[in-house]
Amino acid sequence: MSQDLTLGEAARAIGVSVDTLRRWDRAGKLVTRRDARNHRVVAAREVQRLTKRPSRHATGTRLSARNRFPGVVRSVEMDGVMALVEIQAGQFLVTAAITRDSVSELGLAPGVEATATVKATSVMVETAKRGR
């Protein structure tokens, strides 16, 4: 690993987005400096420091998503190469469309504990029709 990494290289090494690194920089959680071209760079030791931090969720992997819903698989419906997995997460019912292979690899079945991680740039909501 070279002495300094670009934000993109550092983000890939840590497992977060470039936008997350920019937020961490503004919040003082990450030390960056400007190179000769005035681009932000991150020292290799900073990347090492951040990759040594323990994971904060059950899967042991690092994600930048903040919306995690731990719960229990309620149902799994498979059709072709896709599957619909329903997770009862407290008062919430989360439905995920994932591949059949993922269901198999994760061992998903009714009664299995699982965490739904939601990361979306937009969510569309429609009201229920009244008067039926």
pLDDT digits (tens, 9 = 90+) for 21-71: 888 999 888 899 999 999 889 998 888 888 764 444 445 555 566 678 888
Q: Pick from 74, 10, 79: which is nearest to 42 by CA?
A: 10
Q: How many residues does the chain have?
A: 132
All CATH 1.10.1660.10 domain ranges of the chain, comma separated, are: 4-51
Q: Residues 74-119: pLDDT tens digits?
A: 999 999 999 999 999 888 899 999 999 999 989 999 999 998 888 7
- HSE (CB half, 13 Å, CA atoms) of 126? 3
Domain boundaries 67-118, corresponding CATH code = 2.40.50.100
All CATH 2.40.50.100 domain ranges of the chain, comma separated, are: 67-118
Q: What CATH class has 4-51?
A: mainly alpha
Could you tell me where the DSSP H helices lie in 1-132? Answer: 7-14, 18-27, 44-51, 100-106
